[in-house]
Structure 1
C-alpha cells in the first residue's frame, strides 16, 4: 500500500488500530502517527463518495443524500468533538484543567483545518494544538504547512462563503465545483478565495520561519525556532498543570 493511501486502513478497519480514539458511521478520529504538536488528531470521513475529493472542493457541491452545507455542518460537529477529546486528554495528563482554562484553551489554542495540497489521498481534517512542540516537527516545510496560508482553517471551508455554492443554492441545481476562485462580494457577502497556484503555495512552504506565539522571525533556522518554541511551550503549559508529563500524542 502506498503511503498516500495510509488512511484508508482506518476507514476499512477502525477497531484494529490503537491510535483510533473515536469512530462511528461517519468518521474515524485518530492520533496522527507523526504529530507536529503535543496533540495532533485527524478526522477521516468514511464516505466513499467524498474520500477522494479535494478538501477545498468537498463542501462546495451537493451529493445524492446530502447537500454540501449539510456535510459541512456535520463535519463541524466532529471538529468540535475532536477538540473536546484533546482537552479531555490533556486534562488527564495535566492533572485536570478547570472549566475556564479548558474552554479558553479549546477556543484559542486548538486549530482545525486542511492542507491546500494534502500529502495523503483520503480526505482528512487536522485538529492540532498550536505549540508545535514535537520531535516530528523536523523542517521548514513541516512548520510552514501549519503556520502559513498553506493551511486553511476549517471555518474558511464553509460553503456559504463560496460564491459558486451560493449560486447553486439559489438555482437549486447541481454543478461540479472544481474551484473557489471568486472573492468578490455579492449582495454584501464576502466570499473566500483559496490559493491554488502551485508556485504560490510552494512559496508559503519556503517562507521565513516565524514564531506562532510572538512573531519573531528566525529566517531559515529551524534549530533556533525550536529552542524558542520550547520557552513558549513551558510558559503555556506550566500555567495549566503538570506539563512535564506531556509527550506528543501520548496519554497516561
Structure 2
C-alpha cells in the first residue's frame, strides 16, 4: 500500500532471489518502505530501480492499471510484489560498464555505478532481459536460424555463455517432446562454442540449465569450471551451478526422450542454502572468499 502524502511504496520480496534497498536485504516475505532517493536492487543486486512520484495526473489509477496489465506475469520464484495506489514512474539505472570480451573471459563485474537514468517501458520487466540481450549484436557470439549464443552479462566463470532459442519458450516446464531436436541442437552448439573459444589449458566445461531460472526464456549455460569471476559473489550463485539445482543438458535431453517433459524436484530451491562445498574435492568452505581462494588450487596450470 502506497501513501502519497508520506511518499513511499511498500515492497515485498516473493521467493528466494535476494532483494535489497540501499544494500540492506529485505528478506523473504518481508515488507519495507521504498522512498524517492532509495535504490531498490533485485535478483542478487543485479537490477537497480528507483521510485518517483508524478504530480498532476488526472487519472492516476487508470494509468497504473494499464502498466500492470502490459507487464510480464511475475512468479513467486523470481519476482517482487509492489503495492501501490499512487501515480509513479519506475526508472532503472544503466550500468556504466561495457560487456565482457567476445571470448567470454572477464576481468571485472558490471556494478551499480553512477549512470544516467532512463524510464523502464512497461514491457521491459527485468525478467525479460534475455530477450533484449539476444537481439544485441554486441552480446552475440554465434547465431543461426534456430538459436543465438550470447555472453552472460554477469558471468560466473572465466568463460560463460548462454544458448537461447529464437522460439519463445518461457522455461524448462514448457519443454515437450517436440522440442527435443531444438534442445539437442542447443547442446551441440554449446559444445562447439566451448571448443572454439578455449584451449587445452582451460578448465573443463559444464552444460546445463537452472531448475528455476530467474530470467524468462529458456537458456542453456555453457560455463567453465574454474569459477574465476568477480561476479561470483554469494552462496546462491555458487550452489546454483554446483548442486542438483543445475540440470545437466544431457539429463534434460534424456527426460524429453523418455517422459516428453522435464521433471524438476520439489523444493529444489532448498539446495541453494546448503553449505559451500568445493565442486572438485568436496571440501566444505566457511565463506565465499575462502572458497574462491581454495578454488585456485584446482585451476589448470
TM class by shorter chain equals 0.5 to 0.7
- When residues 10 and 85 of structure 1 are mapped into structure 2, their CA distance, relative to the original with a 3 A threshold, is farther
Choose the corresponding residue for 1:7, options 127, 130, 133: 130
Choose the corresponding residue for 1:36, options 130, 152, 156: 156
Structure 1: which 5+ residue stretches go unaligned?
A: 63-67, 92-100, 166-176, 181-193, 240-252
TM-score normalized with structure 2 length: 0.54
Quick check: 2:147–2:165 contact (8 Å CA) kept in 1?
yes
Choose the corresponding residue for 2:272, options 176, 198, 205: 205
- Trace 1:94-243 onto structure 2 (pairs within 5 A): 101=200, 109-159=204-254, 163-165=258-260, 177=261, 180=263, 194-195=264-265, 197=266, 199=267, 201-218=268-285, 220-233=286-299, 236=300, 239=301
Quick check: 1:10–1:28 contact (8 Å CA) kept in 2?
no
Any idea what the Cα deviations from partners look like across 1:5-56, whole Å, max 9, x if unmatched? Answer: 1111134x343xx2211112111111111010010110011113xx21x225
- When residues 26 and 161 of structure 1 are mapped into structure 2, their CA distance, relative to the original with a 3 A threshold, is closer
CA distance in 2, matches of 1:73, 1:162: 11
Structure 2: which 5+ residue stretches go unaligned?
A: 1-123
TM-score normalized with structure 1 length: 0.64
Any idea what the Cα deviations from partners look like across 1:184-218, whole Å, max 9, x if unmatched? Answer: xxxxxxxxxx41x1x3x222100010111211111
Any idea what the Cα deviations from partners look like across 1:54-73, whole Å, max 9, x if unmatched? Answer: 22551x332xxxxx332233
Q: Higher helix fraction: Structure 1 or Structure 2?
A: 1
Quick check: 1:56–1:116 contact (8 Å CA) kept in 2?
no
What is the aligned length? 178
State the structure with bigger RCO (CA 8 A, min sep 6), 1 or 2.
1
CA distance in 1, matches of 2:238, 2:148: 25
What is the match of residue 139 of structure 2? 19
The CA RMSD measured in Å over matched residues stands at 2.1
Residue 232 of structure 1 and its aligned partner are, at CA, apart by 2.5
Choose the corresponding residue for 1:78, options 180, 185, 189: 189
SS at match of 1:69: helix
- When residues 22 and 84 of structure 1 are mapped into structure 2, their CA distance, relative to the original with a 3 A threshold, is same
Quick check: 2:187–2:207 contact (8 Å CA) kept in 1?
no
Any idea what the Cα deviations from partners look like across 1:89-131, whole Å, max 9, x if unmatched? Answer: xx4xxxxxxxxx37xx6xx710000000011001110000001
Residue 137 of structure 1 and its aligned partner are, at CA, apart by 0.5
What is the match of residue 61 of structure 1? 177
Quick check: 2:208–2:221 contact (8 Å CA) kept in 1?
yes
SS at match of 2:209: strand
CA distance in 1, matches of 2:298, 2:188: 30
